[in-house]
Structure 1
Amino acid sequence: MRSVATTLLLLHLHLSANAGSVNKGQPCSQGDNRLQAGTYQFWSDCNSQTYCAANNTCVARGCRRDDFPFGYAQGSDHIPDKCERGQFCPDEMDACQTLLSVGSACQLNRDDQCEAPDNFKELADTTGRGLNVNGSVCLNNVCMWANVTVGLSCVVENIGYTAYEAEGEFINIVSRGNCRVGLYCDSQQRVCMQNKVLGEACTADKECDSWNCMSNGACGVDASIPHHFSPWVYAVVALGIIGGMFGTLIGLFVVHRKQRDEEREKRVQYWREQNTFHQNLLQMRESARASILSLPGHGNSARSTVYSTRDGANSDDTHTPILQHAAKGSGLRNYIGDDGSSEYDEGSIVQSSRKTDGRF
């Protein structure tokens, strides 16, 4: 549930944002000044920079409550001054006025309009929940001091504001009293009672020290207190982060290794296919050589020297190329063997040597 200070702040901001539309110098009616139903915002015909004066004309405001008032441009020269100590700026923001004494009439939720007691430092609300201002509180439009102790009669004010949530609108009741800080004014008995601690039964936020009465009817932890986790939670989170990092790295390594194996298998398969193809070519060449050597009249011819070694034996060099028309050679025919060495067409050399010996 929302605290009093937060509720009042939101109401004040909404008030500033929902001013009238009548500009300076134009006619207005003070009879239209009112607190709007549901939000209790002060509203007038004039815009956010003016107020409706006694002559029913919108004139420039004479004071402000906020450091950065709504409706003015940044750095504007027309922003009115804030009131000095001992004064307050009313909802109309027409002019600064002197603080009101106890028992004087004040505007709704304007604790700052009331004069502070002498022991205001002892009574002042330092929790930031808007229980009072310097020990003064405006209840039922009357200024009083928040100094009532336990068991004594107190004054309570219950205001139902219209609020909204996802399921729709609802009534948010803000209950305030004139008890000292640490006490609350019971709405039924109208006496000040001690605030309840964590876990005690409650019916409203004001009854709890934490100002947080949960839906189960017990006082809960203050909503403004940050939640602290046990050391083991941080350890588990750290281990989870580290485990996630290492898991990611290991997963990437496995995936990449699988991809490398697949690529390696493709290269091995390619090499096997190429080697098989090369072996087939060698077998074809061997078959062709055997066929040529088996032809009649070619066993001792000069052409047969192409497929024989220098000592007359058949060569086992399967890398020797198949040469056609060796007898018609036009010079030295060079080729590169598989071992990188260069050889020549021996058939051409043999025929040349025979001419030199005079055998032809």
Structure 2
Amino acid sequence: MLPLTLVFLSCWALVDAGSVSKGGNCTQADSRLQIGTYQFFDDCDSVTYCASNGTCLLKGCRKDEFPFGYATGATLPPLCPSGQFCPDEADVCQAQLTVGSPCQLNRDDECEPPPNAAELADTTNRGLNVDGAVCLNNVCMWANKTSGESCTVENTAYIAYGATGEFIDIVSRGNCVVGLYCDSSALQCMAEKDLGASCTADKECSSWNCLASGVCGVDTTIPKHVGTWVYVVVAIGIFGGIFGTLFGLFILHRRQRDQEREKRMQYWREQNAFHQNLLQMRQTARASILSFPNNGNSARSTMYDEAPIMQHAAPKSSGLRNYLADDSSDEGMMMQPSTRDDGRF
């Protein structure tokens, strides 16, 4: 049960730590650098620090232009003027430290710069020094050691995370002038190596990029430029893809139009054949009717025409008789009224 208890207490400490607000109680003995990240930590929250009287007070200075933890529109503590620095505790601005004085990890800005600061200052933005001053092994120094001279080296192991998981990233720093590095074995300043030379650490290469193969690679901060032919090939590929797509769509749509046109033509041919069959049937029926005797007048119709008028019989209402009409409409047999000799229907 002891390991579980320790895990529980550790988790509780991580959750509750750094949450004490202004006026709360704190202990300076809890102030430390976090393992792996080396970020400063104390019992107080992000806007206060742990004073010597065991109380969290508002921070009196800041080292960053935009400090973490402050709300939008909140009043920020002041930045320290030239010649002073704001420590990790951020309690108050202090005068820069002379060479040999104790300093905090990676706080080169806490050290007083040398007289020839402009000559020794790091202009590569690689964190080699600040105005020619460097804090190594918690001691202020000047980065003025030249080739062949003895130097001081500081190796700091950070916890990093990559695609394969957690790994250790060792950062090695020295007090050699810019363009040289402090060899960890010989503890002497040596010239940085050119592209393709064998190496064991990034600091040995002028490009600060020692490849996994053990040779100095290209500087990763330099933008990669490609030849003009690459742009030409890309442009051809883009326009070729556009015109190829348009041409393919044109062919596809034309094929679809041809298919639809063929369907309409087939439909027209079927309808025309059907119409021709109807006309042929009408003509056949008319020819059959015209082939009857008396031009289609049957004996029955003749009998009705020659029947005598009965006395006192009611007059016929219409006097219709069979009549064959052969007009241009080919409508076949039609029933039309006939006019008698006496003018009556």
The equivalences for 1:174-323 within 5 A come to: 174-298=171-295, 306-307=325-326, 320-323=329-332
Mapped to 2, the partners of 1:49 and 1:320 lie a distance apart of: 105
Mean Cα deviation higher: 293-302 or 104-113: 293-302
SS at match of 1:71: coil
SS at match of 1:307: coil
Checking the alignment, whether the CA contact within 8 Å between 2:28 and 2:50 is kept in structure 1 is yes
SS at match of 1:137: strand
Q: Superposition RMSD on alpha carbons, in Å?
A: 2.1
SS at match of 1:51: strand
SS at match of 1:240: helix
Residue aligning to 1:10: none
Residue aligning to 1:157: 154
Mapped to 1, the partners of 2:180 and 2:93 lie a distance apart of: 33
Kindly indicate whether residue 6 of structure 2 is the aligned counterpart of residue 42 of structure 1.
no
Q: Which amino acid aligns with 2:61?
A: C
SS at match of 1:125: coil
Checking the alignment, whether the CA contact within 8 Å between 2:326 and 2:332 is kept in structure 1 is no
The equivalences for 1:71-220 within 5 A come to: 71-77=69-75, 79-220=76-217
Q: Which has the higher contact order (CA 8 A, sep 6+)?
A: 1
- What is the Cα deviation at residue 355 of structure 1? 5.9
Mean Cα deviation higher: 222-231 or 171-180: 222-231
Residue aligning to 2:60: 62
- What is the Cα deviation at residue 300 of structure 1? 9.4
Q: Which amino acid aligns with 1:132?
A: N
SS at match of 2:106: coil
Residue aligning to 2:303: none
Mapped to 1, the partners of 2:334 and 2:21 lie a distance apart of: 115
Mapped to 2, the partners of 1:63 and 1:278 lie a distance apart of: 101
SS at match of 1:184: strand
Identity %: 64
- What is the Cα deviation at residue 164 of structure 1? 1.3
- The counterpart of 2:334, out of the listed 315, 325, 333, is 325
- What is the Cα deviation at residue 123 of structure 1? 0.4
Mapped to 1, the partners of 2:136 and 2:262 lie a distance apart of: 88
Residue aligning to 1:20: 18
SS at match of 1:306: coil
Mapped to 2, the partners of 1:94 and 1:204 lie a distance apart of: 37
1:121/1:36 CA distance change after superposition, 3 Å: same
Number of residue pairs matched?
Answer: 307
TM-score normalised by length of structure 2: 0.84
Mapped to 2, the partners of 1:303 and 1:261 lie a distance apart of: 54
SS at match of 2:330: coil
Mapped to 2, the partners of 1:216 and 1:36 lie a distance apart of: 33
Uncovered stretches (5+) of structure 1, i.e. residues with no partner:
1-17, 309-318, 330-350
Checking the alignment, whether the CA contact within 8 Å between 1:19 and 1:48 is kept in structure 2 is no
Mean Cα deviation higher: 225-234 or 103-112: 225-234
1:248/1:293 CA distance change after superposition, 3 Å: same
SS at match of 1:76: coil
Checking the alignment, whether the CA contact within 8 Å between 2:323 and 2:333 is kept in structure 1 is no
